[in-house]
Amino acid sequence: MHLEAVPPAPVRSADERVGVNGSIAAALTRSVGSMWAVYATLAIAGTWIALASWGPLRRIDPYPFAFMLFLGNVVQLLLCFVIMVGQSVLGAAADRRAMQTYQNAEAIFEQVSEVQAHLDRHDRLLSRGISLLESRPHPWIEEHRVLPPPQAKDQAVSVNGRIAAWITRRVGSMWAFYVAAAIQLVWIGLAQLHLQQFDRYPFAFLLFLSSLVQLVLMLVIMVGQEVLGRAADRRSEQTWLDAQAILSECQRLKTRLTRQDRIIASLCDYTHFQVTERLARAIHDSYARAIHEAYVEAATDRGEEPGSRRALGDWDDLPEDLKEANRAQARHVGEKLADLGCIMVPTFDPSLTFAYRDEEEVLHLARLEHDRWMQERIDQGYVYGPVREGRSHPDLVPWEQLSKEARDKDVDAVRNIPAMLAAVGFQVLRVMEPAAESA
């Protein structure tokens, strides 16, 4: 079963009232099944009794108000049939709701099973074939697939219940209503035309039959209510079990995802450390080599012997503060590339070379690198000073005020990004337009 098989809209009782008879039954139920009908009945009966006791109706229907009694029984009998029609409609709607709930639960269970199977594949990838969660699906899921949804007719299991169900099916229709109304009208008409002398006005035998049928139908209605109640209890139990199974599977999914998160976080931490450390080494080596070559060239031109600086030593000999400065620069490479719509990935195709589109891209990233470096120094307590000494630095100024030498340093660092990434086994791919252009 797929999600597409689930009915698109909830089942309503009105959906069962189709056709002319269903529409008539619905109209009768709406008009009679209200407190206004109760008020109207009490008003008519009270007025009739008053007029029959002290008014002009005394000669027609004196106490014990035989005609009113007969008329009331006729209406009650007809309402019994309407009630049974409504009971049948409610039962059919409840059965359809039960089927819809069953289908919805099956669709949810199927989707949950697919997600669990997907997580099984993740388990095998993350833990070399060993499951991270040894547990079984909720037992109700399997039982649900072989247990049909509760139906009202299935609750009438005894002989008496089956008899009541048979009577309800035969009598609980508008045709039974029409037949009952026609029989009483014909009976009264024959008596008024003197074609039958057995039961003249006030139709005592017809009144007796009507009362007897009402009594039987009321008992059948009560049996039907009990059957509907049992079916509703079964549906409620099944819905509760569905909810328990769904909550159990959600908890199982949450537990599995939590355990996978630990492994994924560990892998990401390891990868991040390795990439950052190797990239920082590459940045340092490239930068130190460039500074060293420039320093040696300048010293030779001045006729001086090359000196040494701590930043030009091997990586393992660097102080921790210089190592961390290079790591910070390495961590920011991905953000700078993302600003151009690029990503860095492990090298998978050396033929896919990367080049900046124009000088504007290089200058844009150089500005970002300077802003990052300046914020890093400010956070460390550095301030602007015309001479580099202690915690003062002449380059702690906006990009526009930087000297050409300082700008060239950031520009060279940006130009070296693809080569430095290649040195540690990564390449740059352009996946979308730069953020500024796409905006």
Nearest residue to 174 via CA among 4, 18, 395, 372: 18
Strand duo 342-346 + 392-393: pairing: unpaired
Q: Where are the domains of the chain?
A: 3-32+64-271, 332-438
List, for residues 356-413, the tens digit of each pLDDT value. 999 999 999 999 999 999 999 999 999 999 888 888 999 999 999 999 888 988 898 8
Q: Provide mean pLDDT across the span 272-285.
A: 67
Cα dihedral 94, 96, 102, 104, rounded to 10, equals -110
Q: Which pLDDT score is estimated for 293? A: 52
Q: Provide mean pLDDT across the span 152-171.
A: 68
Nearest residue to 21 via CA among 174, 208, 181: 174
389: left (phi over 0), alpha (psi -120 to 50) or beta: beta
* CA angle 133–138–140, rounded 5-degree value: 170
* Residues linked to residue 344 through DSSP beta bridges, in sequence order: 428
Cα(321)–Cα(22) distance, rounded to whole angstroms?
A: 86
| Residue type (1 letter), 151 | Q
Instruction: Say which residue, 44 or 300, is predicted with more confidence.
Output: 44
| Residue type (1 letter), 439 | A
pTM score above 0.75: no
| Chain mean pLDDT for the chain | 78
Q: Which pLDDT score is estimated for 399? A: 94
pLDDT over threshold 50, residue 3: no
Q: Which pLDDT score is estimated for 291? A: 43
Q: Provide mean pLDDT across the span 269-292.
A: 63
Cα(355)–Cα(382) distance, rounded to whole angstroms?
A: 35
Q: Are 11 and 96 in contact (CB under 8 A)?
A: yes
Instruction: Say which residue, 29 or 310, is predicted with more confidence.
Output: 29
Instruction: Say which residue, 89 or 272, is predicted with more confidence.
Output: 89
List, for residues 100-157, the tens digit of each pLDDT value. 888 888 888 888 888 888 888 877 777 665 555 556 777 877 777 767 777 766 665 5
Tokens of 41: 């009945």
pLDDT over threshold 70, residue 50: yes
